[in-house]
Amino acid sequence: MVKSGALSRLVTTNARFALPAVALIALVACLAPAVDAYGTTQDRTLYDQSSIDSRINAEVDRIQALYAAQGQAAFDTITSAGLADANTAILYIVNADTLQIVAHASDPGQVGQVAQTLRAADKSYSQIRAELAQNNRIWITNIDTNPANLEFQTTRTLLHLHDGYIFAAGHLLPDTEIQLFIEEKVKMYDSYGDAEAFFDSITPDNPVLTDELYMFVIDYSAWMRVADEVVPARVGQSETILDTSARSVEDVLADLGENEGTWAEYTFHNPGTDIIQIKRTWLYLYDGYVFGSGYYPSDSRAQAQADSAKILYAAHGQDAFGMITPTEPDPLSIQSTFVLDATTLDVVAHAKAPNLVGTTNTYLDAADRPLETILAELQDGGVWVWHMDRNPATQTNQLTRTYLTIYDGYMFGAGYSLPDSRIQSVVDEAIYTYRNDPESGFEVITSGTLNRLDIYPAVRNFTHIVAHGTLPHLIGPLPSFQITRSNEDIWRVAAESGTVWSLYSFVNPFTGADQIKRGVNILYDDYLFASTYTLSDADTRSVVDYAIFIYESNKENDAWIDLITPDEPIITDDLYPFVIDAASWTRLADGVVPDRVGKAETILDTSTRSVEDVLADLEANGSVWVTYTFHNPATGVEQLKRSYLQLRDGMVFGSGYYLLDSQAQAAAYGSVLDYSVKGMDATLADINTIPEEPVSTYGFIINPHNGTTIAQSVDSDLIDNTNDWDAIVQVLSVEEILDVTGSEPGMWVSYTHTEPVTGQEETKRTWLILNDGLIFGSGYYSSNIPESDVQFAVSNAIRTYEANKENDAWVDIITPDEPIRTDALYPFVIDAATWTRLADGVVPARVGQPETILDTSSRSVEDVLADLEANGSTWATYLFHNPATGVEQLKRSYLEMRDGIVFGSGYYTLDSKVQSTLHGRILEYERDGRDAVLASINVIPDEPVSTYVFAVDQQGGTTIAQSVDSDLIDNTNDWDAVTAVIPVQDILDAISKGTGMWVSYEHTNPVTGQDEIKRTWLVMHGGLIFGSGYYSSNIPESDVQFAVSNAIRTYEANKENDAWVDIITPDEPIRTDTMYPFVIDAATWTRLADGVVPTRVGQPETILDTSSRSVEDVLADLEENGSTWATYIFHNPATGVEQLKRSYLQLRDGIVFGSGYYALDAQVQTSLNGRI
In a domain, 792, yes or no: yes
Q: Which amino acid is at 544?
A: V
Record the pTM: 0.54
Residue 601, domain member (yes or no): yes
Question: Residue 221, Cβ neighbours under 10 Å: how many?
Answer: 11
DSSP letter (8 states) at residue 1096: G
Asked whether 864 and 874 are in contact (CB, 8 A), the reply is: yes
DSSP 813-853: HHS-SS----SS--EEEEETTTTEEEEESS-GGGTTSBP-T
Burial of 41 (0-12, 13-18, 19+ CB in 10 A): exposed
Q: Are residues 654 and 747 in the same domain?
A: no
What digits encode the pLDDT tens for the residues 737-778?
A: 998 888 777 899 988 888 877 677 788 899 999 988 999 999
Indicate if the pLDDT at residue 651 is higher than 50. yes
941: left (phi over 0), alpha (psi -120 to 50) or beta: beta
Residues 901 and 830 in one domain: yes
Q: What confidence category does residue 580 fall into, taking pLDDT thresholds of 50, 70 and 90?
A: very high
992 and 1071 both lie in a single domain: no
Q: How confident is the model at residue 899 (pLDDT cuts 50, 70, 90)?
A: very high
CB of 827 closer than 8 Å to CB of 814: yes
- β-partners of residue 581 are 586, 651
Q: Has residue 568 got a pLDDT over 60?
A: yes
- On the question of pLDDT at 584 being above 90, the answer is yes
Alpha-carbon gap, residue 561 to 543, rounded angstroms: 15
pLDDT of residue 968: 55
Would you tell me how many other CB atoms lie within 10 Å of the CB of residue 1061? 17
DSSP 3-state of 542 = helix
User: Cβ distance 648 to 302 under 8 Å?
Assistant: no
Q: How far is Cα 783 from Cα 226, in angstroms, rounded to an integer?
A: 44
Average pLDDT, the chain: 81
Q: Is 549 helix (H, G, I), strand (E, B) or coil?
A: helix
Helix (H, G, I), strand (E, B) or coil at 233: helix
In terms of residues, how long is the chain? Answer: 1172
- 155 shares its domain with 217: no
| 381 contacts 374 by C-beta, under 8 angstroms | no
In single-letter form, the type of residue at position 94 comes to V
pLDDT classification of 658: cutoffs 50, 70, 90: confident
CA dist 265 and 1151 (Å) reads 66
Which pLDDT does position 256 carry in this prediction?
93
The pLDDT assigned to 274 comes to 39
pLDDT at res. 40: 43
Q: How far apart are CA 1153 and CA 1078, in angstroms?
A: 6
Dist CA 514 CA 437 (whole Å): 35
Task: Read off the pLDDT of each residue in 672-678 and give the average, rounded to a whole number.
Answer: 77
Whether 13 is in a domain gets the answer yes
Specify if 463 maps to a domain.
no
Residue 753 maps to a domain: yes
Residues 845, 973 within the same domain: no
Nearest Cα to 237, choosing from 251, 216, 255, 256?
A: 216
3-state secondary structure of 312: helix
986 to 164, 341, 342, 980, 991: CA distances (angstroms): 72, 74, 74, 12, 9
Q: Is 619 inside any structural domain?
A: yes
More confident call, 352 vs 12: 352
Give the CATH number of the domain where residue 549 resides. Answer: 3.30.450.20
Q: Give pLDDT tens digits for 983-998.
A: 888 888 888 776 788 8
- Taking the C-alpha atoms of residue 60 and residue 160, their distance in angstroms, rounded to an integer, is 7
- Which among 141, 176, 211 is the end of a domain? 176
Give the count of domains, the chain: 8
Phi, psi of 155 (to 5 degrees): -130, 140
Given a cut of 60, whether residue 963 has pLDDT beyond it is: yes
The DSSP symbol for 296 reads -
Spatial distance between the Cα atoms of 711 and 709, rounded to a whole number of angstroms: 6
The pLDDT assigned to 19 comes to: 26
- Asked if the structure places residue 227 within a domain, the reply is yes
- Lowest mean pLDDT across 35-44, 631-640, 932-941: 35-44
- Of 765, 699, 698, nearest to 727 by C-alpha is 765
Q: Which residues contact 335 (CB under 8 A, 6 or more apart)?
A: 302, 305, 414, 415, 416, 420, 424, 499, 501, 520
The model's pLDDT over 449-468, given as tens digits with 9 standing for 90+, comes to 888 777 899 999 989 999 99
> Does pLDDT of 397 surpass 70?
no
Range of the domain at 977: 929-1032
pLDDT score, position 3: 28
CB 795 within 8 A of CB 629: no
* Sign of the alpha-carbon dihedral angle for 119, 122, 124, 125: negative
Percent of the chain beyond pLDDT 70?
83
Q: Give the integer Cα–Cα distance in Å for 405 and 414.
A: 10
Query: Residue 119: which pLDDT band, with cuts at 50, 70 and 90?
Result: confident
Please name which of 147, 129, 136, 36 lies closest in space to residue 90, comparing C-alpha atoms: 147
Assess whether 1105 and 1120 both reside in one domain.
yes
The C-alpha angle with vertex 457 and arms to 455 and 461, in degrees rounded to 5, equals 150
944 in any annotated domain = yes
Q: Tell me the three state secondary structure of residue 900.
A: coil
- Domain limit, last residue, from 631, 661, 691: 661
Note the pLDDT of residue 418: 56
Residue 299, pLDDT score: 35
Do the Cβ atoms of 970 and 1031 come closer than 8 Å? no
774 and 803 part of one domain: no
Specify whether 122 is located in the same domain as 190: no
H-assigned helices in 852-973: 861-871, 909-928, 930-937
**Long-range pairs for 362-366: beta carbons < 8 A, 24 or more residues apart:** 362/211, 362/212, 363/211, 363/212, 363/387, 363/388, 363/389, 363/402, 366/177, 366/181, 366/212, 366/213
Looking at the structure, tell me whether residues 767 and 820 fall in a common domain: no
Q: Which of 416, 434, 453 is the endpoint of a domain? A: 416
> Residues 1058, 1161: one domain?
yes
Residues 811 and 891 occupy one common structural domain: yes
What pLDDT score was predicted for residue 399?
53
Residues 314 and 408 in one domain: yes
Interhelix angle 418-436/438-446, nearest 10 degrees? 140
Beta-strand relationship, 836-840 and 827-831? antiparallel
